[in-house]
Copies of this chain bind each other. A is one copy, B any other.
Amino acid sequence: MSGSMSGAARHQSVFDGWTARLFAGDRRALARAITAVENETTEAPAVLAAIHPRLGRARIVGFTGAPGAGKSTLVNAYIKELRRRGRTVGVVAVDPSSPISGGAILGDRIRMADHAGDPGVFVRSLAARGHLGGLSRTAARVIDVMDAAGRDYVVVETVGTGQSEVEIADLAHTKVVVCAPGLGDGIQAVKAGILEIADVLVVNKGDLPLAAAAANQLTEAARLNAGGTRPVPVLTTVATTGEGVAALAEAVEAHLAEGGGPRMAPLQRARRLVAALAAQRLKRRLAEAADPRLDALCQSALRGEIGFDEAAARALELLAGGGR
């Protein structure tokens, strides 16, 4: 039979072979599938079509926070805890620093060292692509591949600044925000707006003198912010020793279980991403447009004849109606 097989059919057969290995949990197949979607190779469409029916099983946990909070160390400790519980883990480390650090590769090496030889942990770092939304788009695809490959958990680690990371955090079912006492007190953390995006708040470096004070401030802030509803839990960890990490895993489980609503389906995730990318397009288009009607709206807003909100609503109408 192999003698009569056409080239295309043979290619298909080879492909079927390695996607079968992908779904069986084979690491090399997983690496190949991720590379395909990350680099948008000719194999990418076939990979995406193959994984599509298998999406939606993995729990996606996002970690974010300011540089210096010990986030990577905590993610490593959390992964160890998940492994102790018998879960398989995929890790997507989002690192918008490619121009200088070669951070993607370096990051993989550092992180892999901790889990080297453990087939239950698969790490991939992603570097920025230099265009708007490129990173969140790639991250969404890589998360999907890990999900389809049967990883129980996909842990997404992002650096907590800038727009694209906020959107990447949106892809997670549960968002953990990591603070450190040395990085300013609870008030400072609250100023940074993290209460709005966190499902679980962690004060890492809990062995530092100011940790308890920071945790107290954050707890109080979370209580006030919740305004009578259940506040975001605040935990203290020492990532380097593993202290508090089991409690963190429990808090994540609790949030996943209650869900803050049902767990986000792949379609809903895709819709958020498409909405974010469309919004970026619109923003660019409007900011660069030389449309006298838009300028008239802006002048009206500057003169106080209409509010900026009203101007924005009318700008959207301009686009929608072509000038009604």
Query: Contact residues of A with B, CB < 8 Å?
Result: 40, 44-49, 52, 55, 66-68, 95-97, 99-101, 103, 128, 133, 137, 140, 144, 159-166, 182-184, 187-197, 220-221, 224-225, 227, 266-267, 270-287, 294-295, 297-299, 301-305, 307-309, 311-313, 315-316, 319-320, 322
Contact = CB atoms under 8 A, between A and B. Distances in A.
18 contacts: A44-B304, A49-B304, A52-B304, A96-B192, A99-B195, A101-B190, A103-B191, A133-B308, A137-B307, A161-B193, A162-B197, A183-B183, A267-B299, A270-B311, A273-B308, A274-B294, A279-B280, A282-B316
B281 A286 contact: no
A312 to B, nearest CB: 4
A65 to B, nearest CB: 10
Given A48-B302, A99-B224, A182 B68 contact: yes
Contact of A162 (B166, B319, B322): B166
Give the copy number. 2
A213 to B, nearest CB: 14
A interface secondary structure, majority: helix
Contact of A281 (B137, B140, B277, B312): B312
Nearest to A181: B68
Nearest to A291: B271
A274 B311 contact: yes
A304 B43 CA distance: 10
Given A68-B188, A282-B279, A322-B320, A45 B305 contact: yes
Contact of A45 (B52, B192, B304, B312): B304
Nearest to A101: B187
Nearest to A55: B302
A305 B196 CA distance: 35
Pick from A144, A161, A295, A319 the residue with the most CB of B within 10 Å.
A161
A162 B304 contact: no
